Amino acid sequence: MIGFTMFGVDPDDQNFWIYRFMIDEKYQGKGLSVPAIKLVIEEIKHINSDKLSDIMIGYNQQNLAAKYAYQKAGFMETEIAPWGEQLALFTL
């Protein structure tokens, strides 16, 4: 196992959210993040029986590796969340 992800539909906004996306420290910097994010997106598409249109993710504003990986996977930054994270949106 090289990482962990947790995602689901948020009952507050009815969007898919990737709540956790983690790559083990031993595997970071090896180009695995973007393909792994794309696998998560494909799995969400596969289970999206309600035809929801958005996937959201939040990350620390200082984490440039996450920022660039999410951008490469197709996420667009939106706003800063009340809890301080940068939010980004992927439209299905």
Question: What's the 3-state SS for 58-85?
Answer: EECCCCHHHHHHHHHHCCEEEEECCCCC
CA angle 46, 49, 51 (to 5 degrees): 100
Residue 70 bears catalytic tag: yes
Compute the distance between CA of residue 65 and CA of residue 28 in angstroms, rounded to an integer: 10
* Secondary structure of residue 43 in the 3-state scheme: helix
User: Among 19, 27, 59, 70, which one carries the catalytic annotation?
Assistant: 70
Q: Which residues are catalytic?
A: 70
